[in-house]
Homo-oligomer: A and B are copies of this chain.
Amino acid sequence: MGAMRIATLTSGGDCPGLNAVIRGIVRTASNEFGSTVVGYQDGWEGLLADRRVQLYDDEDIDRILLRGGTILGTGRLHPDKFRAGIDQVKANLADAGIDALIPIGGEGTLKGAKWLADNGIPVVGVPKTIDNDVNGTDFTFGFDSAVSVATDAIDRLHTTAESHNRVMIVEVMGRHVGWIALHAGMAGGAHYTVIPEVPFDISEICKRMERRFQMGEKYGIIVVAEGALPKEGTMELREGEVDQFGHKTFTGIGQQIADEVHRRLGHDVRTTVLGHIQRGGTPTAFDRVLATRYGVRAARACHEGQFNTVVALKGERIRMISFDEAVGTLKKVPMERWVTAQAMFG
């Protein structure tokens, strides 16, 4: 295929490495095919509203490699609005002379991408999630950065917990899957880790901490995924207030586990909620390489006519998988990984 006009956009929560993908697309399009790239701003919304910028293969694009976030901005559009706008999307792409679209996003974005592909738009998807929960790919970019930030934090908390004879609870991201908790817990030498895939038993957690203190250890570190839930009937959760988004919240699960461990053991227990720092900032070298390779492969897929596909890492190679392989279910932590993590507890 000759030179093309490719469009890209980033959608959903931001993620370290988004800019590296964009750079990878722009450079490959330019260097290998003499093609041009435009970016739609603020996700699907920008595509609908035709807010686009030309992305030149220049010094500016070169520099974004190590910048967190996304130069295109991101957004969350309700699927209904998105679907209702299909004619507008088609018109916008046609008017701008776009030959192929590369949406970069998570589960929701890829579903939207598949729907566009089903409606005849030439699409190549790039999976993006710090949660690492996309099927068909060994890793998603952003995950390694999130784990690194969480691990740095846990490293710091060890010494403060130890100096004060404390149990320290670290709540990390992961509403539906425990990948960040599992990896950060393993990398940070946590003494227990709680993931959404395995409902926790508060008695078991207390027993573990108690045994540590009995053996003369002075402290304990527990990593908790924000989506962790107790085994039915083992612990009642307090609900919280209604937040600015109108959602009823419950006080963070980390704090609730902390309060209960304190109530049962009497020990000083503190909670740290890592929050947004896990998804911002410079990507790790690992994520920059992975994101760059995704960008290169996506740009090539467009020129090779491999539409209706998603880039994925399998072992040492980047391969194209189908939307159906990528979306539909979340990639959860398998039981064997959980058992391996447990071997390190104690």
Contacts and interface: CB of A to CB of B under 8 A. Distances in A.
A276 B272 contact: yes
Secondary structure class of chain A's binding surface, majority of residues: helix
Contacts of A284: 148, 284, 286
B68 A343 contact: no
Interface string A24-68: 100110011000000000100000000000000101001101111
B280 A158 contact: yes
Interface of A: 10, 13-14, 18, 23-24, 27-28, 31-32, 42, 57, 59, 62-63, 65-70, 73-74, 138, 144, 147-153, 155-165, 168, 183-184, 186-189, 217-218, 243-244, 258-259, 262-263, 268-273, 275-277, 279-282, 284-286, 288-289, 292-293, 296-297, 314-316, 340, 342-346
Given A28-B343, A276-B157, A280-B159, A244 B263 contact: yes
Nearest to A245: B268
Contacts of A66: 155, 189
A189 B27 CA distance: 12
B244 A65 contact: no
Contacts of A316: 138
A281 B62 contact: no
A130 to B, nearest CB: 11
Instruction: List the number of copies, as a whole number.
Output: 4
A344 B263 CA distance: 46
A73 B27 contact: no
Given A150-B285, A188-B285, 9 more contacts: A13-B164, A14-B164, A28-B343, A31-B344, A73-B162, A74-B164, A138-B316, A272-B277, A286-B286
Nearest to A244: B262
Contact of A285 (B74, B144, B162, B277): B144
A133 to B, nearest CB: 13
A134 to B, nearest CB: 12
A150 B161 CA distance: 19
Given A186-B289, A244-B262, A156 B73 contact: no
B285 A159 contact: no
A270 B284 CA distance: 24
27 contacts: A23-B344, A24-B343, A27-B343, A32-B343, A65-B187, A68-B158, A69-B160, A69-B162, A73-B162, A73-B218, A155-B280, A156-B276, A157-B277, A158-B280, A160-B276, A186-B293, A187-B292, A244-B258, A244-B259, A244-B262, A244-B269, A272-B276, A273-B273, A284-B284, A296-B343, A314-B315, A315-B315
